[in-house]
């Protein structure tokens, strides 16, 4: 059964060019994967230790020692392997494949005879397997294993890791479900659900899809499994502080009500968005099978809430450090923001799946917003340090001296004790080529603009599209069609929501978009012949963005955005005390490539007003007087902040308001 009739282009059929996405993809291949392998092997001086590979060695009987790290440490190696798989799909490379194969041998050896695989429980507490689903991440790690295995099989044709994953999935299928004698549990951290859908798609085994659906449908039902298992354990928890984990609230796990009844995003953001992604997968199959629209309806409600009420302008989500969680509508503080890199990545996954269900630019817009802002900010220009938390305002001293800012780091870190984000970034950017298009025999949807060449088979005919563009910095996108035979299809071009005056021409002749636009895509239906070209102009003036009035934090402020890229001010360009800068609503900005920046970025130059500090003695307060001077300012892409000297940063800037 097909989820929808839209296909993704296999990674091997997309060749990325030298655009921003292509360069990040290349950075993953050349720098990030080798760096992360070292990190996973504790070979980065001064970095937090991982020991992820060592844990597998111990579990495989190749080394002696204790388990080290988070209970979900295995997932870091799995995510790295998944990123390697995507990289091998586009750039086969023997040395990297040999390295991955050696890791896979180790993983296979660590698998238990009954298919179970988790180094924490194998090494440290073998008798406690499956006794604490709420906290212990066994199903989460299984999900990441499955995703890596599917990707590795698709990239290399090698089955070893897939067989390992299938054995584990079968073990899980035997253990869990509604049948008598099975545990009626579900994961504390969602992830396995979307992975099982991938396993179903690659093996054709429907029981994996059924199991994914079971985990979703069981969630949030009374009596709560997490309460039952807690009682069964004698009311003990995994973490020293978690003796009463059910008290943390079922919302944390999105287990407060059945998933189809959930209308607003609550609780841990990554858990939530992995779950919504799986719900969107199931929605596709439900629509195709029973015609059941309730899954899609639930996804739509959650989508609306996340993207219209609880998302930062950067595409960051999950504003609260406590529980790494969503809070409530319009609660998006800038300087204490959590906005975990993984959560923005998970939003991309959700958006991508919604796009496949209903091609509409609003999904691709959010995907793009997250990618170019709240996801990319997680990685330094050299690919060797990372942010876990992505605030929209940083004052370094506050981060070190205030307890409520202690999660905010003013500089990227080499690695983390809890290192979920860096390999998640690696797997997303290693596979970024697959997010550009969707297609079927009638249409090719172009969702993302970036230089690349992609090959399609439309009604049995070979078609290739080549995008030439400097997007997201430059406004023009040229798409050349090559096809040995004339081929009839609709080219569906996304008209980004941020662009007010998109224009399209075919073979040099402008076309009228009115009447041919559907859900934010311009539909150009033609008999395409070799050498046809389409040009898209996406004017990118610098926009001064306002936030919804409900967003308390940003009342009276603006953020600069150009195209899909959100900008920020940094101390290194604009001096200290960024809070004293005020922007006029009429201020004009020019956009130009920076000549002295670690990466190739467009910066914005303009003017602002700065509060004049002279005349103040040592009084803390005094009667108001308006004294400001005109100053030049430079804004840099938010994602690229903290690549030079440490210092203050701010996205939302005070606006000079007049009557
Ligand atoms: O729990 C596994 C991962 O670690 C989560 O997705 C992240 O939020 C971090 O807590
Ligand atoms: Zn993370």
Ligand 1 environment, Cβ below 6 A = 72, 189, 270, 324, 340, 342, 418, 420
> How does pLDDT run across 368-415, given as a tens digit for each residue?
999 999 999 999 999 999 999 999 999 999 999 999 999 999 999 999
**Among residues 452, 437, 285, 440, which one has the least CA distance to residue 367?**
437
Cα(475) to centroid(ligand 2), Å: 33
State the average pLDDT over residues 612-640. 90
Give the ligand 1 atom nearest the CA of 269. Answer: 8
Q: Which ligand is nearest to the CA of 190?
A: 1
Q: Which residues contact 572 (CB under 8 A, 6 or more apart)?
A: 644, 645, 647
Q: Which ligand is nearest to the CA of 273?
A: 1
Q: What is the pLDDT of residue 261?
A: 98
- Which residues are 558's β-sheet partners? 653
User: Whose alpha carbon is nearest atom 6 of ligand 1?
Assistant: 270
Give the ligand 1 atom nearest the CA of 191. Answer: 6
Give the ligand 1 atom nearest the CA of 75. Answer: 2
Confidence of residue 649 (pLDDT cuts 50, 70, 90): very high
> How does pLDDT run across 55-86, given as a tens digit for each residue?
999 999 999 999 999 999 999 999 999 999 99
| Mean residue pLDDT across the chain | 96
Catalytic residue among 141, 299, 342, 420: 420
Which of the pair, 353 or 3, is modelled with greater confidence? 353
Buried b (16+ CB within 10 A) or exposed e, 23-61: bbbbbbbeebbebbbbbbebebeebebbbbbbbbbbbbe
Cα(120) to centroid(ligand 1), Å: 16
Instruction: Locate the DSSP E strands across 227-316.
Output: 267-268
Cβ atoms within 10 A of the Cβ of 310, count?
22
User: Whose alpha carbon is nearest atom 4 of ligand 1?
Assistant: 420
Q: What is the pLDDT of residue 193?
A: 98
Return residues with CB closer than 5 A to ligand 2 (ion).
340, 342, 420-421
pTM over 0.85: yes
Cα(315) to centroid(ligand 2), Å: 15
**Among residues 210, 207, 208, which one has the least CA distance to residue 198?**
208
Buried b (16+ CB within 10 A) or exposed e, 204-241: ebebbbebbbbbbebbbeeebbbeebbeeeeeebbeee
3-state secondary structure 309-332: HCECCCCCECCECHHHEECCCCCC
Catalytic residue among 26, 82, 324, 368: 324
Cα(388) to centroid(ligand 2), Å: 6
Q: What DSSP assignment string belongs to 356-383?
A: HHS--HHHHHHHHHIIIIIIGGGB-TTS
User: Whose alpha carbon is nearest atom 9 of ligand 1?
Assistant: 420
Q: What is the pLDDT of residue 48?
A: 97
Cα(418) to centroid(ligand 1), Å: 7
Q: Which ligand is nearest to the CA of 239?
A: 1
Is 420 considered catalytic here? Answer: yes
**Cα 107 from chain centroid?**
26
CA angle 360, 361, 365 (to 5 degrees): 135
Ligand 1 pocket test: pick from 342, 387, 389 the residue with the most ligand atoms within 8 Å of its Cβ.
Answer: 342
Q: What is the pLDDT of residue 244?
A: 46
Q: Which ligand is nearest to the CA of 418?
A: 1
Instruction: Give me the sign of the Cα torsion angle 285, 287, 288, 289.
Output: positive
Q: What is the pLDDT of residue 447?
A: 98
> How does pLDDT run across 549-560, given as a tens digit for each residue?
999 999 999 999
Q: What is the pLDDT of residue 247?
A: 54
| Distance linking the first and last C-alpha atoms of the chain | 61
> How does pLDDT run across 234-256, given as a tens digit for each residue?
999 998 766 444 556 899 999 99
Q: Which residues contact 258 (CB under 8 A, 6 or more apart)?
A: 217, 219, 220, 221
User: Whose alpha carbon is nearest atom 8 of ligand 1?
Assistant: 270
Give the ligand 1 atom nearest the CA of 72. Answer: 2
Is 324 considered catalytic here? Answer: yes
């Amino acid at each position: 059964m097909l989820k929808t009739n839209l296909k993704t282009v296999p990674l091997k059929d997309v060749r990325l060019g030298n655009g921003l996405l292509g360069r990040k993809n290349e950075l993953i291949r050349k720098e990030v994967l080798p760096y992360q392998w070292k990190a996973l092997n504790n070979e980065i001086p001064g970095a937090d230790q991982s020991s992820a590979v060592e844990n597998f060695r111990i579990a495989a009987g190749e080394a002696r020692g204790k388990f080290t790290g988070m209970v979900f440490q295995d997932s870091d190696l799995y995510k790295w392997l998944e990123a390697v798989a995507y990289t091998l799909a586009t750039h086969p490379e023997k040395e990297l494949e040999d390295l991955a194969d050696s890791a896979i041998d180790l993983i296979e050896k660590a698998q238990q005879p009954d298919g179970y695989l988790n180094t924490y429980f194998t090494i440290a507490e073998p008798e406690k397997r499956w006794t604490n689903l709420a906290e212990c991440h066994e199903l989460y790690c299984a999900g990441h294993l499955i995703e890596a295995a599917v990707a590795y099989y698709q990239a290399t044709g090698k089955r070893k890791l897939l067989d390992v994953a299938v054995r584990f999935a079968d073990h899980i299928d035997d253990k869990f479900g509604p049948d008598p004698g099975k545990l009626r549990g579900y994961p504390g951290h969602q992830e396995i659900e979307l992975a099982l859908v991938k396993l179903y798609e690659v093996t054709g085994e429907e029981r994996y899809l059924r199991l994914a659906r079971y985990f979703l449908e069981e969630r949030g039902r009374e009596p709560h499994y997490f309460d039952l298992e807690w009682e069964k354990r004698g009311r003990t928890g995994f973490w020293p502080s978690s003796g009463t984990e059910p008290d943390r609230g079922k919302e944390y796990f999105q287990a407060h009500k059945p998933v189809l009844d959930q209308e607003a995003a609550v609780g841990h953001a990554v858990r939530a968005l992995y779950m919504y992604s799986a719900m969107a997968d199931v929605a596709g199959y439900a629509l195709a099978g029973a015609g059941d629209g309730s899954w899609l309806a639930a996804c739509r409600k959650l989508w609306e809430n996340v993207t219209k009420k609880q998302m930062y302008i950067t595409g960051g989500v999950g504003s609260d450090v406590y529980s790494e969680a969503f809070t409530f509508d319009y609660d998006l503080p800038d300087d204490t923001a959590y906005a975990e890199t993984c959560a923005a990545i998970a939003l991309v996954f959700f958006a991508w799946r919604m796009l496949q269900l209903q091609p509409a630019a609003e999904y691709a817009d959010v995907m793009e917003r997250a990618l170019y802002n709240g996801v990319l900010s997680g990685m330094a220009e050299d690919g060797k340090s990372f942010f876990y938390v992505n605030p929209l305002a940083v004052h370094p001293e506050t981060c070190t001296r205030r307890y409520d800012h202690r999660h905010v780091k003013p500089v990227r870190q080499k690695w983390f004790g809890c290192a979920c984000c860096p390999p998640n970034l690696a797997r997303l950017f290693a596979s970024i080529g697959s997010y550009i298009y969707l297609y079927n025999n009638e249409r090719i949807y172009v969702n993302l603009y970036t230089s690349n060449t992609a090959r399609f088979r439309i009604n049995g005919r070979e078609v290739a599209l080549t995008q030439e563009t400097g997007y997201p910095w430059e406004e023009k996108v040229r798409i050349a069609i090559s096809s040995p035979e004339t081929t009839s299809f609709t080219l569906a071009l996304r008209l980004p929501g941020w662009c007010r005056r998109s224009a399209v021409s075919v073979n040099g002749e402008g076309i009228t978009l009115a009447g041919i636009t559907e859900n934010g895509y311009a539909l150009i239906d033609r008999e395409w012949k070799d050498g046809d070209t389409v040009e898209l102009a996406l004017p990118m003036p610098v926009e001064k963005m306002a936030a919804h009035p409900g967003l308390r934090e940003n009342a009276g402020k603006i953020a600069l955005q150009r195209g899909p890229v959100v900008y920020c001010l940094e101390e290194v360009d604009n001096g200290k005390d960024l809070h004293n800068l005020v922007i006029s609503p009429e201020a004009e900005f020019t956009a130009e490539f920076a000549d002295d920046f670690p990466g190739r970025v467009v910066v914005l130059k303009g003017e602002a007003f700065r509060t004049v500090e002279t005349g103040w003695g040592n009084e803390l307060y005094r009667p108001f007087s308006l004294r400001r001077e005109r100053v030049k300012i430079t804004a840099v892409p938010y994602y690229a902040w903290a690549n030079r000297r440490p210092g203050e940063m701010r996205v939302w800037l005070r606006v000079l308001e007049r009557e």
